[in-house]
Amino acid sequence: MRAEDVPRVRIAVIGNADVGKSALTVRYLTGRFIGEYRSNTDLLYNKTISLDAGLTEVEIVDVYAGNEDDFPMEQVLWADACMVVYNITDRISLDYATKCLGEIKALQNGPSAYLIGNKADLDHLREIPEKEGAAVAAAHATGFCEVSVAEYTPLLTKAFEKLIIDSRTRPQKQIRKFSVSKMLGTLIGSSGYGSNRNLAINQGTVIPCHKGELHKTRVLKRRQGFMATSSL
């Protein structure tokens, strides 16, 4: 299949600060856990994956959690699907996730969504019962699961793949623009901007993307050698 014939799915990962969006995204893409990480900008990832339905180019934007009262409309309108994340030990994070699900549902021809409760390994600090998260998801007609990105779980992969498969069946939306300014290398200890290499992972590639408009296909390559320690 020619690269231009591979269908593309765009996913926005949204949620409050400290819910683990970056760690969750990198865990899905590479199988690795990066620990706590906080960015002051959106992060864009690109990966070509192989599913039963065929190859799919997946673009994932990890949306910066700035003002907790803000809804990332621009990023959501860009996306075909949204992964909405909250922290099971932080009730405010579920309040924000619930607000986001409501905003998404209210959009005409808006993206599909999936709700994830992260940090399930911290059950001793839990503020939100699992059944409450499930009820919020049911009220907004979305999928739901709890995960701990600190530990490998196939539930996370299944959640992303559900969004991807569902999005492949929907008409591809017109590309909308917004800017990003970080790259995957930053998350795994790289420093500086330079030339790069594609990262082969699980029959696909992960490409750190240059800052700029999301619809552009140019990427800035880096020399940092980054290999996944386990496949997805």
Specify if 230 maps to a domain. no
- Asked if residue 59 belongs to a domain, the reply is yes
N- to C-terminal Cα distance for the chain? 23
Q: Does pLDDT of 140 surpass 70?
A: yes
Mapping DSSP to helix (H, G, I), strand (E, B) and coil, where does residue 136 land?
A: helix
Residue 117: CATH number of its domain:
3.40.50.300
Q: Is residue 190 included in any domain, yes or no?
A: no
Question: For residue 96, what is the enclosing H or E element?
Answer: helix 91-106
Q: Which two tokens stand for residue 96?
A: 């924000």
Q: Does 125 reside within a domain?
A: yes
For the cut 80, the answer to whether the pLDDT of residue 111 exceeds it is yes
| In a domain? residue 186 | no
Residue 182: pLDDT over 70: no
| pLDDT tier at 5, thresholds 50, 70, 90 | confident
Global pTM reads 0.77
| Residue 201: inside a domain | no
**Structure confidence at residue 219 (pLDDT):** 29
Q: What is the mean pLDDT of residues 92-111?
A: 96
Query: What is the pLDDT, as a whole number, of residue 202?
Result: 46
Residue 4: the pLDDT is: 64
- Spatial CA neighbour of 201 closest among 84, 16, 45: 45
Host domain of residue 168:
8-173
Note whether residue 223 is domain-resident.
no
Q: For 5-31, give the DSSP string.
A: GS-EEEEEEE--TTS-HHHHHHHHHHS
Tokens of 82: 């949204």
For residue 160, which of 195, 188, 196, 202 has the smallest C-alpha distance? 202
| Residue 54 pLDDT grade (very low, low, confident, very high; cuts 50, 70, 90) | confident
Would 24 be classed as within a structural domain? yes
pLDDT category at 58 given cuts 50, 70, 90 is very high
pLDDT at 195 over 80: no
pLDDT top residue among 92 and 65: 92
Structure tokens at 59: 């673009």
Domain tally for the chain? 1
118 within 8 A of 86, measured Cβ to Cβ = yes
Question: What average pLDDT score do residues 109-138 get?
Answer: 97
In single-letter form, the type of residue at position 72 comes to P
Tokens (6 digits) for 156: 């996370």
| Per-residue pLDDT, 126 | 98
Q: What are the DSSP E strand ranges found in the chain? A: 8-14, 43-51, 54-62, 81-87, 112-118, 143-146, 179-180, 199-201, 204-206, 212-213
Residue 178 has pLDDT above 90, yes or no: no
pLDDT at 174: 58
Residues 138, 113, 116: CA angle, nearest 5 degrees: 70
For 185, phi and psi rounded to 5 degrees? -55, -35
What does the alpha-carbon distance between residue 143 and residue 138 come to, in Å, rounded to a whole number?
A: 7
Candidate ranges 50-54, 72-76, 192-196; pick with highest mean pLDDT: 72-76
Average pLDDT, the chain: 77
